[in-house]
Amino acid sequence: MLPCGFAVNSLRRRAMVLLAALLPVLVTSAFEKFACAQSALRGTSPAAHPGVKVTFNRDIAPIIFRYCSSCHRPGEAAPFNLLTYSDVKKHARQIADLTRSRNMPPWLPEPQEAKFIDEMRLSEAEIDRIERWVEQGTAEGDPTDLPPQPKFAEGWGLGQPDLILKAEKPFILPAEGTDTYWNFIFRVPLPSTRWAKAIEIRPGDKRYVHHANLLVDRAGAARAREAEPGAGFGGMEIRIETQVFDPDSHLLFWKPGTVPAPEPEGMALRLDKGTDLILNTHLQPSGKPEIIQPSIGIYFTPQAATKFPMLLQIENDRELNIPPGVKDFLVQDDFTLPVDVDVMGLYPHAHYLGKDMLAYATLPDGAKKTLIHIPHWNLNWQAVYRYAEPVRLPKGTVVSLRYVYDNSEENPLNPNHPPARVVGGNRSSDEMCHLWLQVLPVNFDPAQGDPRMALQEALARHNVEKNPGDFEAHYNLASMLQAKDNVEGAVAEYQAAVRLRPEDATANNALGAALVAAGHSEQGVGYLRAALKARPDYFDAHYNLGLALAGENDFAGAADQFRLALQLEPRDANVEANLGAVLAEMGRFEEAKVHFEHALTIDPNQPIAKENLEELKKAMGGR
Amino acid sequence: MRHRLQFFLTPIVAALAVSSGVAWAQAALDLDGHAVNPLTAEAGKVAVLVFVRTDCPVSSRYAPVVQQISQRFAESATFWLVFPDKSETPESIRKYLAAYGYRLPALRDPGRVLVKLSRVQIAPEVAVFDRNRRLVYDGRIDDLYAGPGRARPAPTTHELEDAIEAAQAGKSVARTDVRGVGCYLADLP
């Protein structure tokens, strides 16, 4: 036996952070060219004066070109073109009706102080002008008044992407029925980490895709849901577990009219070897079967990210328990920011009962800022909204949600007829009360650690206080405490999580690992065995149990666990080094040497193997 | 509800019936260009005209529903698709029928003869005529759409089917006109 024993590698703290990760790309759309042309015309149109006949060329075309043509053109989402006089005349009354009711152009938020990029909101004067044009007989007017036709990028909006991925298998949208939600998995074939400055989403046939969210899945967690690789899977909301604290950071989103734009300077999106991108699509039947086969185009940059935003998910689904017939069911939440942030954009989200959605901030000085107000929510036109200028919210600001739901017969979109009780959940017939804020921490001291962890911890603590039965909140709070080396606090929160889900493999593994780290190997062993009972092929739990048993001087038991771990991941240098260490402890030097050497062929710098091999050689007398 | 002058309607229909077969410029045309009066055909059956636009997504979404209802009532009702858009050619209509799986006879109505007779305003709307060729219902197929862009998960009323059943039974229709959600026919060239 060696005098000082063999060093055993540190615990594998693969604590999972369960982020309910909806991960939209926020794409800024750009209609700059027309914005300029139009601003000159606004308010100065001769048709603004009563008595002057409204003409298409002079008064209407500028409105149509600016607000309508980007979607109403060949290959885009809208069902017919609005590019010429005859196009527009053929839908003139419909346009007058739909603009008056503000169904078109689709833009849900009310005007507010904090402006969004590409607001698609007509002025009352513009709406009046369209109406008068129709009433007066849709005159074409003087050809010389017609502004030039808008120009749009053909093909990929940002030029040829560096990498184009097409969904492996198309989804066949049935001819009839109700809304369908389908998820496509793109396996990004990267040999090593790259940085993406933009990802353009081409959702397949744009006429049938209402919107799409792109989610980053770094652990291949969604693959298990495919019936066969590449097949995709159904479901309106998807959750992705991440192995380490690696919070979602970008709002990757497509809706009709989206023009792709690069992420802000310094905010490239990291794509690792093995990263999957999941495109979550909302589809509506057209009357005939449609083939939906999306693609994504990735634009790389050599510039690694220097700014690290985070998606802050504020929610209160637990309060969603809406009796049938109730027209104004209010759900609220108030979250206090622990650090200064710039809000870059946001993504409010509810399902079919959502009616009025308000989010506002109360600053430490008492001032109130509306973040967004959607008085007539429509799931079909949900969108990511990005601010023209980031909204600065200092530490101590309270972010408040006030969402109102209509579960009465008067809500035509009610999934139940007659109305039935609706609770929070991921199915389209359930309801949600979520707001994702893309925030960039500012004014922080890097020496104090990643400020996003403070945000995550505060949010988890807030959710635990609000709902002691929130498994994910306990789990995430534990992860954040563990990351701060508050092991006792982490153990208490993991225990709360395990009490809520006694058979959850992930939580049992994390609790077991935390107990071992806190020096309670004996207690840890029980939870790690529970994790393996729940999931026998759980690599991390085998590894952690091996370490725990080694800590209890059960080297044979430890060796068994490391061997089981190696069956699952044969080229793991840590496991090889630790297996070598326990074998050496048992005096099986020749076998130990093989495993140390194997560890070093996998990773020549594996420190435990290096150190132990030298010790071993000394013990074996230089053999 | 709109006030109806039904006693005027029958003679107008009769007049149309008389003029069918004459190649007058205003007649509805089949896809081979022949003048057709759908109301003189299959006299013993209820007649249903379905007004559609190829460029109207709401109208197109109803294709499977219209096809199914026409099958359900195949014994007792005769169905015609009517395309009022002057700019639609027989070729573009044939292509559309194939894409959406329609197997119903299609008519072009460039002179809006059938539109006027049916009092319809929107695509998709339907007109139901009883065996005496009295207009008993004009309007939406069902209430799938509560408003523009606001489709229910499933319709809760079925006006077209109710009207056909009433017309078959010689009973009066509860609501003789309910406007549809979709695209205006008056906007068409």
> Taking residues A456-464, what's their average pLDDT?
94
Number of Cβ within 10 Å of residue A526's Cβ equals 14
Would you state the pLDDT for residue B172?
86
Would you state the pLDDT for residue A220?
83
The helix or strand, by DSSP H or E, that contains position A186, with its residue range, turns out to be strand A180-187
Is residue A251 scored above 90 in pLDDT? no
- Which of A89, A178, A286 has the CB atom closest to B187's CB atom? A89
User: Helices marked H in A118-266 — which ranges?
Assistant: 124-135
Domain endpoint, select from A250, A273, A301? A301
Cβ of B189 within 8 Å of Cβ of A90? The answer is yes
Is residue A493 scored above 50 in pLDDT? yes
> From its phi and psi, is residue A347 left (phi > 0), alpha (psi between -120 and 50) or beta?
beta
pLDDT digits (tens, 9 = 90+) for A329-342: 999 999 999 999 99
- Domain count of the fold of chain A: 4
A104-109 long-range CB contacts below 8 Å, 24 or more apart?
A: A104/A68, A104/B148, A105/A67, A105/A68, A105/A257, A106/A256, A106/A378, A106/A381, A106/B149, A107/A381, A108/A374, A108/A376, A108/A377, A108/A378, A108/A381, A108/A382, A108/A383, A109/A372, A109/A373, A109/A374, A109/A385
Q: Has residue A474 been placed in a domain?
A: no
User: Helices marked H in A467-606 — which ranges?
Assistant: 471-483, 487-500, 505-517, 521-534, 539-551, 555-568, 573-585, 589-602
- Cβ-based contacts of A419 with chain B (< 8 Å): none
- Which of A97, A179, A287 has the CB atom closest to B63's CB atom? A287
Would you state the pLDDT for residue B20?
40
Integer angstrom CA distances of residue A42 from A48, B63, B119: 9, 42, 39
The residues near A254 (Cβ < 8 Å, ≥ 6 apart) are A25, A27, A201, A203, A209, A211, A212, A213, A214
Residue with tokens 């017309």: B167
Please indicate whether residue A111 or residue B12 has the higher confidence score (pLDDT). A111
Best of B58, B150, B179, B185 to disrupt the A interface (most A CBs within 10 Å) is B150
Q: What is the Cα–Cα distance from B186 to A281, expressed in whole angstroms?
A: 35
Would you state the pLDDT for residue A50?
62
DSSP string for residues in A349-378: E--TTEEEEEEEEE-TTS-EEEEEEESS--
State the pLDDT confidence band at A84, using cuts at 50, 70 and 90. Answer: very high
Residues A486 and A586 in one domain: yes
Q: What is the Cα–Cα distance from A365 to A359, expressed in whole angstroms?
A: 18
Q: What is the Cα–Cα distance from A512 to A532, expressed in whole angstroms?
A: 11
Q: Has residue A307 been placed in a domain?
A: no
Burial-class residue A306 by CB neighbours within 10 Å (0-12, 13-18, 19+): exposed
Q: What is the Cα–Cα distance from A108 to A102, expressed in whole angstroms?
A: 9
Structural domains in chain B plus CATH codes: 6-184 (3.40.30.10)
User: Helices marked H in A21-166 — which ranges?
Assistant: 32-41, 61-67, 85-89, 92-100, 124-135
From B185's Cα to the closest Cα of chain A, the distance in A is 9
From B63's Cα to the closest Cα of chain A, the distance in A is 5
Kindly report which listed range (A135-139, A347-351, B17-21) carries the lowest average pLDDT score.
Answer: B17-21
Would you state the pLDDT for residue B12?
38
Torsion, Cα of B140, B143, B146, B149 (10° steps): -80
Q: Has residue A72 been placed in a domain?
A: yes
Residues A110 and A72 in one domain: yes
Residues spanned by the domain of A260? 17-25+156-301
Residues A412 and A511 in one domain: no
Is residue B80 scored above 50 in pLDDT? yes
In this structure, are residues A304 and A389 in contact, taking their beta carbons and an 8 Å threshold? no
State the pLDDT confidence band at B189, using cuts at 50, 70 and 90. Answer: confident
- Cβ-based contacts of B151 with chain A (< 8 Å): 178, 284, 413
- For A561, half-sphere exposure in the C-beta direction (CA atoms, 13 angstrom radius) is 24
Would you state the pLDDT for residue B94?
97
pLDDT digits (tens, 9 = 90+) for A543-570: 999 999 998 899 999 999 999 999 999 9
Nearest to B103 by CA among B67, B64, B136: B67
- Cβ-based contacts of B158 with chain A (< 8 Å): none
Q: Has residue A467 been placed in a domain?
A: no
Q: What is the Cα–Cα distance from A267 to A260, expressed in whole angstroms?
A: 15
Is residue A38 scored above 60 in pLDDT? no
Bridge-based pairing of strands A310-315 and A233-234 is: unpaired
From B134's Cα to the closest Cα of chain A, the distance in A is 30
Residues A120 and A259 in one domain: no
Residues A139 and A105 in one domain: yes
Domain endpoint, select from A98, A123, A145? A145
Residues A57 and A113 in one domain: yes
Residues A395 and A514 in one domain: no
Cβ of A80 within 8 Å of Cβ of B186? The answer is no
Bridge-based pairing of strands B77-83 and B46-51 is: parallel
Residues A131 and A169 in one domain: no
- Cβ-based contacts of A80 with chain B (< 8 Å): 55-56
- Which of A80, A98, A104 has the CB atom closest to B55's CB atom? A80
Residues A36 and A21 in one domain: no
Nearest to A359 by CA among A312, A330, A404, A399: A399
Cβ of B101 within 8 Å of Cβ of A90? The answer is no
Cβ of A176 within 8 Å of Cβ of B65? The answer is yes
Average pLDDT for chain B: 86
Q: What is the Cα–Cα distance from A235 to A264, expressed in whole angstroms?
A: 31
* ipTM over the 0.90 cut-off: no
State the pLDDT confidence band at A241, using cuts at 50, 70 and 90. Answer: low
Best of A88, A94, A414 to disrupt the B interface (most B CBs within 10 Å) is A94
In this structure, are residues B135 and B117 in contact, taking their beta carbons and an 8 Å threshold? yes
- Which of A86, A285, A414 has the CB atom closest to B61's CB atom? A285
> Taking residues A258-266, what's their average pLDDT?
86
Nearest to B143 by CA among B130, B129, B128, B158: B158
Q: What is the Cα–Cα distance from A470 to A475, expressed in whole angstroms?
A: 9
Q: What's the one-letter identity of residue A149?
A: Q
The helix or strand, by DSSP H or E, that contains position A460, with its residue range, turns out to be helix A451-466
Q: Helix (H, G, I), strand (E, B), or coil: what is residue B94?
A: helix
pLDDT digits (tens, 9 = 90+) for A141-158: 999 999 999 988 778 888
Q: What is the Cα–Cα distance from B121 to B56, expressed in whole angstroms?
A: 13
- Which of B62, B156, B184 has the CB atom closest to A93's CB atom? B184
Q: Has residue A473 been placed in a domain?
A: no
Q: Has residue A114 been placed in a domain?
A: yes
Cβ of B57 within 8 Å of Cβ of A89? The answer is no
Nearest to B96 by CA among B109, B84, B83, B86: B83
In this structure, are residues A547 and A11 in contact, taking their beta carbons and an 8 Å threshold? yes
State the pLDDT confidence band at A427, using cuts at 50, 70 and 90. Answer: confident
Beta strands in A132-177 (DSSP E): 163-166, 171-173
Cβ of A103 within 8 Å of Cβ of B187? The answer is no
Find the closest chain B residue to A429 by CA distance.
B153
Would you state the pLDDT for residue A248?
72
CATH number at residue A558: 1.25.40.10
What is the percent of chain A where pLDDT is above 90? 65
Q: What is the Cα–Cα distance from B183 to B189, expressed in whole angstroms?
A: 13
Would you state the pLDDT for residue B121?
95
- pTM value? 0.82
CATH number at residue A375: 2.60.120.230
The residues near A468 (Cβ < 8 Å, ≥ 6 apart) are A496
Q: Which residues pair with A342 in a beta bridge?
A: A392, A440
pLDDT digits (tens, 9 = 90+) for A604-617: 998 888 888 888 88
Would you state the pLDDT for residue A21?
29
Find the closest chain B residue to A287 by CA distance.
B61
Cβ of B61 within 8 Å of Cβ of A287? The answer is yes
Cβ of A89 within 8 Å of Cβ of B56? The answer is no
- Which of B60, B61, B187 has the CB atom closest to A90's CB atom? B187
DSSP string for residues in A65-104: HHHTTTTSSTTSSSSS--SSHHHHHTTHHHHHHHHHTT-S
In this structure, are residues A385 and A435 in contact, taking their beta carbons and an 8 Å threshold? no
Bridge-based pairing of strands B135-139 and B177-178 is: parallel
Residues A288 and A340 in one domain: no
Nearest to A162 by CA among A193, A201, A198, A203: A198
Q: Has residue A63 been placed in a domain?
A: yes
Would you state the pLDDT for residue B23?
40
Residues A116 and A61 in one domain: yes
Cβ of B57 within 8 Å of Cβ of A288? The answer is no
Would you state the pLDDT for residue A8?
47
B residues 110..129 contacting A (CB < 8 A): none
Domain endpoint, select from A258, A273, A301? A301
CATH number at residue A262: 2.60.120
Cβ of A417 within 8 Å of Cβ of B56? The answer is no
Would you state the pLDDT for residue A48?
57
Find the closest chain A residue to B181 by CA distance.
A94
Longest dimension (CA), chain A: 107
In this structure, are residues A387 and A345 in contact, taking their beta carbons and an 8 Å threshold? yes
From A76's Cα to the closest Cα of chain B, the distance in A is 14
In this structure, are residues B160 and B99 in contact, taking their beta carbons and an 8 Å threshold? no
State the pLDDT confidence band at A269, using cuts at 50, 70 and 90. Answer: very high
Residues A423 and A518 in one domain: no
Instruction: Give the single-character DSSP code of A223.
Output: G
